[in-house]
Amino acid sequence: MAQAYLDNSATTRPCEAAIEAVTACLREGWYNPSSVYRPSVEAFRRVREAREKVLRAVRGEGCDAIFTSGGTEANNLAVLGAVNRMRGRQVVAVSAVEHPSVLAACEALERQGHDVRRIGVSLGGELDWEALEQALSDGASLVSVMQVNNETGWLLGGERLHDFVNGRALVHVDGVQGFLRVPFDMKWADLYTLSGHKIHGPKGVGALVVKKGVKLEPRQIGGGQEGGWRSGTENTPGILGLAAAIDAMLALGADMPERLMQKKLRLIRGIREAVPEATVNGAAPEASAPHIVNIGFPGVRGEVMLHALEGEGVYVSTGSACSSKKLKVSAVLTAAGLAPGRAEWAVRFSLSPHTTDDEIDYAAARAGELYRQLVRFQRR
């Protein structure tokens, strides 16, 4: 049976370069980078080179890169670390459609007595700029907005957000879903989060890029690694695997995002031909990230479509992998104003630069065939 893996926003298949880097480190470069003899000094040097690659990838020369266990820890460190370093009760502005690792951190801040403002986002992917302006006027000290929404592909955190905030608050951008697929420049943010397993690197490694001068309260203390911001023996295999994945992504060329967009548009055309009733939930496809599209199949619950597609070897999701086992209806789509009944029909398709046209065409054809079977049993 043919297969099509179209859930790359949940995780990606590790590239060969990352696998080789991790394996070589486990076999030969396993020394502790904090020790002082020659093999450890070599391990330290390679970690430093990996850090420099992370910074170059986001034009963050002069910034710091803190290696973490992944995007969740990096987001926690950014939000909680920044606010807990400040004195007194703070106003924090965060989009209402953030990843659970950011929203949960904001809930923790509220329990500490801070004022968290959840900024709405329209179904077209537009921030409620008036609400954000009010939060800034009320003295917001931190604004946290994801670069790319993981369910819809909305482009939220970037140059426009930076220009709007205009230095009135620290800006944290969760770049987990955007890193290396949507261009980013650290001149647009003070803090930027990324994760290895979203770009064909290993799981268990990520980074927080921090602009010089930004102060953070460490969330993990002890041995003083990572400049004292994140104690714990460095995950050298993971870090080197991340570096290898960055190199492999960059080697795909500057036009990779455009080629990825063409793959997404091919998928949308295929699904619309197979299912004329299908709708795109979110912004116009060309105005959103090149690798994510959220499709509504009227009359068929997303969970039902997901498992039907799975039976045909097509792997997709109904929302964030971090909450898919908990939520029946997407909190992101309902927060953006989509009626719960329509949000129930949503299925997320997410591509990678390695997704083939055959996979795309197979997925679209199977979706059409399955939809015709399933819609006959819709609830009335």
Q: Helix or strand or coil: residue 137?
A: helix
Q: Which two tokens stand for residue 167?
A: 């230095």
Catalytic residue, candidates 15, 25, 106, 322: 322
Q: Helix or strand or coil: residue 349?
A: strand
322 catalytic? Reply is yes
Distance CA 46, CA 257 (A): 29
Q: Helix or strand or coil: residue 178?
A: coil
Q: Do 177 and 157 touch, CB atoms closer than 8 A?
A: no
Q: Which two tokens stand for residue 31?
A: 């020394």
Burial class (CB in 10 A: 0-12, 13-18, 19+), 211: middle
Residue type, 304: V
CA 151 to chain centre: 10
Q: Do 100 and 92 touch, CB atoms closer than 8 A?
A: no
Between helix 256-274 and helix 357-374 the angle, nearest 10°, is 30
Question: What does the chain come to in residues?
Answer: 380
Give backbone dihedrals phi and psi of 2, rounded to 5 degrees, phi first.
-65, 160
Q: Helix or strand or coil: residue 149?
A: coil
Q: Which two tokens stand for residue 355?
A: 């997704």
Residue type, 120: G
In degrees to the nearest 10, what's the CA dihedral of 336, 339, 345, 349? -10
Known catalytic residues are 322
